[in-house]
A = this chain, B = another copy of it.
Amino acid sequence: MLVVMQSHATPVQIDRVLEAILEMGLTPHAMPGPTRTAIGITGNTGTIDSRNLEVLPGVLELIRVTKPYKLASREMHRHDTVISLPQGTIGGSSLAIIAGPCAVENEAMLLRTAEWLMTRGIRFLRAGAFKPRTSPYAFQGLGLEGLEILRRARERTGIGIVTELMDTDTADAVEDAADIIQIGTRNMQNYSLLRRVSRARKPVLLKRGMSATLEEWLMSAEYVLSGGNYEVILCERGVRTFADHSRNTLDLSVIPPVKKLSHLPIIVDPSHGTGKREDVPPMALAALAAGAHGLMIEVHPDPDHALSDGAQSLDFPGFERLLAKVRNLAEHL
């Protein structure tokens, strides 16, 4: 950490800052310069609130240097985390594809989708039993019955289940039904939920919050890792900006820095990212080219009659065309 003093700070003010740093059990390094003094701080600065120094007289600003995440950081863990499941691996050099409808709507439709996906070599099914909806009047998912349908789909087809957990009350049931537990965008900083899944025996797919910085996202991953669950998959799904040409602004440029700063796998959800079916294929290919470890894509047997997110879901032929392009691209990158 670095304390920058004002150019007209007095020696007394500088001494007061040095003292305050010592009181915190840290080591100050004064660097007098031609126009001002800066004071470096070494020691364990992770736990102090930088703003407490910022308000001392004569201080211009305080700059944090070390990253607050540890277990999520590549500095601590040099090699890529690769998550191995019976259905396949996520991370490293493999390409993971997760596909399926927004929500579990009924057993027939879900089974049909799971079976069809398996014939196309897709080993992970996404589908929500619990749906976070902006409106209390919209379809909220089938709940426990939806989990039951997912369980049967896995039994019948062997497909891996990715499904969202919305609260601690349903955590046991979701953990039991899921192969990968999804934490949604709106819950990225729901710390009680993160603590619960840090004790789960299933990998966690952690979607980026609507306006989360890269650091905040990794800090949320840190909650899961620090509780003992080391299998976290990051999922970029678009952030909120002024731009109004798409539902969210898919931030593919986060992929290279995530891969530099962290060892965790990162996948991309172009369906939520764009919000429009026709824009999903180009952005799926772009995500791959940018270095994503995988894709999560909404597919529905009859998108025009889907109970939610139909406009951003591909139908089977559309998904099949995209899949051919994705596999072709993956071979030639």
Chain A residues close to B by CB (< 8 Å):
2, 4, 6-8, 29, 31-36, 38, 40, 42-44, 46-47, 49-52, 54-56, 63, 65-66, 68, 75, 132-138, 140, 166-169, 186-187, 189-193, 209-211, 213-214, 216, 219, 222-223, 226-227, 238-246, 249-257, 260, 273-279, 282-283, 285-291, 303-306, 308-312, 325, 328-329, 331-333
Contact = CB atoms under 8 A, between A and B. Distances in A.
Contacts of A134: 68, 189, 216, 219
A65 B2 contact: yes
Contacts of A223: 136
Contacts of A290: 282-283, 285-286
A285 B278 contact: no
B210 A211 contact: yes
Contacts of A34: 42-44
| Max chain B Cβ within 10 angstroms of own Cβ: one of A43, A52, A325 | A52
The quantity of this chain's copies bound in the complex is 4
A55 B283 contact: no
Nearest to A332: B332
A253 to B, nearest CB: 5
B245 A249 contact: no
A17 B168 CA distance: 43
A205 to B, nearest CB: 18
Contacts of A243: 213-214, 239, 251, 254
